[in-house]
Amino acid sequence: MHKIFIDGRSGTTGLRIEERLAARRDLELLALPEHLLFDTAARAEMINQADVTFLCLPDEVAQEIVPLVTNPDSVIIDASTAHRTAPGWAYGFPELGADYRAAIVSGKCIAGPGCHASGFIALVRPLIEAGLLPKDTKLSCLSLTGYTGGGLAKIAEYEDAARTRGDALSAPMQYALGQQHKHLPEMCVHTGLRHAPAFCPVIADYDCGMEVTIPLFDLPVQAVFECYKAFYSNAAMLCVTEPGHPRPANCMRGRDSMELTVEGNGERLLLIARFDNLGKGASGAAVQCMNLVIGAEETEGLAP
């Protein structure tokens, strides 16, 4: 039986990870008593007892916790932004290639992908590898997300507004308009792009669901579709759907997989990724990585 510790289990990502693990009979979930949740020595002891620790913490806290790992057999899966482009860290998106999968399986330090970044990378990387998209292409990206991606404070803010209505929070809202969003570095590193995209994230007044859209010009829809089908042919938690079937942004709510599609014509097309921002965009992706690390079925405890 594998011992699992969730550091930061009361946050949105931690709670969703715990939900996915609670019924598992192959795991023992370790937990600290309430009065020791922020005790550094107690946390270090628990991390070094565990086979796998999920860090569901702010970036700066995750950076402080990682050096406390002294057990060479302990694995860290960090859900924060802190290590997504750090040397020596596996990037927790096994569908991106055999090298990514192997690094997760053998890794001791695994960085969970960002939600917006997951959709963008899934759409762009296959096209660059196939030579359909040059690395120096300058892209734009629109990403619509449910408010749960903002954490407990944002959830409370939106749900309070829902009770009163008439509030500005009842409409979609753009954010990170200064083009400094924290997902941009990984969006370049894990696609090979030389330029960060012009990125427009939008938070909306529904709880879960993400739709990442990238417009392109002068590529045939069928060629892009076939590229995706070939690249993700063996993916357990990612599927490619036929063009021509519009779906709402929250259609993947409660699921841990991702669906890609391409729409348009030979002159103008849209690359679209849909998934749950708390599923494949966060907690589901982290559990998928844990399954690979401990040798469990990749989809165990997940909702494809």
Note whether 210 and 149 are within 8 A (CB): yes
Question: Which tens digits make up the pLDDT trace of 60-75?
Answer: 999 999 999 999 999 9
- Indicate the fold that domain 115-278 takes in CATH: Dihydrodipicolinate Reductase; domain 2 (3.30.360)
Encoded tokens for 47: 């991390």
* Cβ partners under 8 Å of residue 262, min gap 6: 221, 224, 225, 228, 243, 269, 270, 271, 272
**Per-residue confidence (pLDDT) for residue 155, from 0 to 100:** 78
The tokens of 42 are what?
A: 């107690």
Residues β-bridged to residue 264? 269
152 or 8, which is more confident = 8
Residue 160 scores a pLDDT above 80 = no
Q: What is the CATH number that goes with domain 2-112+282-294? A: 3.40.50.720
3-class SS at 282? helix
Residues annotated as catalytic are 115
For residue 165, name the pLDDT band (cuts at 50, 70, 90): low
φ and ψ at residue 153, rounded to 5 degrees? -65, -45
The pLDDT of residue 246 is 82
- The residues spanned by each domain of the chain are 2-112+282-294, 115-278
What is the full DSSP assignment across 37-50? TT-HHHHHHHHHH-
Where is pLDDT greater, at 161 or 303? 303
With beta carbons less than 8 A apart as the criterion, state whether 205 and 147 touch.
yes
Cβ 148 vs Cβ 282: under 8 Å: no
pLDDT, greater one: 62 or 164? 62
